[in-house]
Amino acid sequence: MSKEWPIWEVFIRSKNGLDHRHVGSLHATDSTMALENARDVYTRRQEGVSIWVVESINIAASNPDNSDALFDPAIDKAYRHPTFYKMPKEVKHI
Amino acid sequence: MEQKIYDYLLQLGDNSMILGHRLSELCAHGPSLETDIALTNISLDLFGQVRHYFQYAAKLGVAGKTEDDIAFLRYAHEYKNCLLVEQPNTDFAYVIVRQFFYDLYHLHLLQDLTESQDKQISAVAHKSLKEVKYHSRFSSQWMKRLGDGTAVSHEKTQAAVDYLQPYTAELFEMTPVEAELQEAGIAADLMAIKDRWQHDVMELLKEATITYPTNEFSHSGGKKGVHTEHLGYILSDLQYMQRAYPEMSW
């Protein structure tokens, strides 16, 4: 068993925000403790109204070495951007 | 009557101030970044409460003292905090056990004070109660983690409980001022709080696999101004700035 506590990623939803945003990470032994630590470390200045925590090992991340294959092919495909359409006047809130 | 309310406010404030100072000593010395900041947050909550009590006391005008005079310019025997809160940060178990014993007392005390006939005291209690609910959650969780954790954490927690439990009876001693203010519906009834406290402590210690000591002996004196040797050291730290530079302010 490792002597260090596991690392957790913290997501906070701010008062006005609709989505939870990644704000940082911390150490905790379990989810209860992770939530309490997140409250103490990341919401001291009224940053949030809701907290999510997830243990970092549960996050699958893309490998930076594969960036070429993953992301570069999108560069020259401007036709995928929704900028070639005329918006009808009746359509609101977009 | 105003003198009595003044005395009561100082007693309430002194408990929060001395405990808040003890926790502030751990700032940057906590066992991990996360617990360090949690304990510092609790300390700041307590100092916020102290300000409410002492500002109100200063406003009563019975002693002609300012908020800072009350906090920083009294002698040790004029501080009326319980002996429990001045006990040192011997190790993390002592910090948590001291906090746990005090938080549960503080929670029930504030719950009763929200009903106080004194509107100002009731308002402060309302505001502080939210903070103390979190404090008691924090210390209760840690009691369970440490007590029911490893063999070493269990042993250290049991040692801290055995050492600090004799300081808890004093929390429920009624001073003559408290008895009189309780008659008037201003102060809390500590006997009633004691039963609720004992019930909560027993329940949680069971979960934490910690044994409640059976000894009958208890320390007392802080509420009368008779303190352990620790308070002098605390005050020399706490009062240094005001003593060295009288009337200085931020």
**pLDDT tens figures, B194-233:** 999 999 999 999 999 999 998 889 999 999 999 999 999 9
Chain A: residue whose CA lies nearest to B38: A40
DSSP-derived pairing of the beta strands A7-13 and A50-55: antiparallel
Q: For A37, which of B34, B134, B145 is closest by C-beta distance?
A: B34
User: Which chain B residues are within 8 Å of A41, Cβ to Cβ?
Assistant: 33-34, 37
Whole-angstrom Cα distance, residue B245 to residue B63? 22
Interchain CB distance below 8 Å, A36 and B137: yes
Beta bridge partners of A50: A13
User: Which chain A residues are within 8 Å of B207, Cβ to Cβ?
Assistant: none
Domain count, chain B: 1
One-letter amino acid of B91: D
Would residue B118 count as lying in a domain? yes
Cα torsion B12, B13, B16, B21: sign: negative
Would residue B250 count as lying in a domain? no
Domain that holds residue B176: 2-244
Q: Is the pLDDT of residue A2 over 70?
A: no
User: Which chain B residues are within 8 Å of A32, Cβ to Cβ?
Assistant: 141
* Chain A positions with Cβ closer than 8 Å to B: 5, 26-29, 32-33, 36-37, 39-41, 44
pLDDT at position A53 is: 97
Please give the model's pTM, rounded to 2 decimal places: 0.89
Is residue B51 less than 8 Å (CB to CB) from chain A?
A: no
pLDDT at position A17 is: 76
Mean predicted confidence (pLDDT) in B8-24: 97
Interchain CB distance below 8 Å, B34 and A26: yes
pLDDT at position A93 is: 74
pLDDT at position B127 is: 96
How many contacts, defined by CB atoms under 8 Å, are there between A and B?
28
Would residue B181 count as lying in a domain? yes
ipTM over 0.95: no
More confident residue, B87 or A3: B87
Would residue B176 count as lying in a domain? yes
One-letter amino acid of A49: V
Cα separation values, B249 from B45, B54, B146, B246, Å: 21, 16, 41, 9
Cβ atoms of B70 and B57 within 8 Å: the answer is yes
Cβ atoms of B49 and B124 within 8 Å: the answer is yes
More confident residue, B201 or A73: B201
Interchain CB distance below 8 Å, A29 and B38: no
Cα separation values, A64 from A22, A55, A61, A67, B148, Å: 19, 21, 9, 5, 43
Whole-angstrom Cα distance, residue B2 to residue B241? 30
pLDDT at position B1 is: 87
Would residue B225 count as lying in a domain? yes
Quick: pLDDT tens for B139-186. Answer: 999 999 999 999 999 999 999 999 999 999 999 999 999 999 999 999
Would residue B211 count as lying in a domain? yes
Is residue B138 less than 8 Å (CB to CB) from chain A?
A: yes
Cβ atoms of A14 and A47 within 8 Å: the answer is yes
Q: How many CB atoms lie within 10 A of CB B111?
A: 16
Give the CATH number, domain containing residue B156: 1.20.1260.10
Q: Is the pLDDT of residue A1 over 60?
A: no
Whole-angstrom Cα distance, residue B184 to residue B174? 14
pLDDT at position B247 is: 80
Q: Which contiguous run of DSSP H or E holds residue A24?
A: strand A21-27
CA end-to-end distance (rounded Å), chain B: 34
Quick: pLDDT tens for B90-148. Answer: 999 999 999 999 999 999 999 999 999 999 999 999 999 999 999 999 999 999 999 99
Which range, of A71-75, B38-42, B55-59, averages the lowest pLDDT? A71-75
Would residue B249 count as lying in a domain? no
Closest CA–CA distance from residue A4 to any residue of chain B (Å): 10
Is residue B153 less than 8 Å (CB to CB) from chain A?
A: no
Chain B: residue whose CA lies nearest to A29: B145
Model confidence at A94, pLDDT cuts 50, 70, 90, reads: low
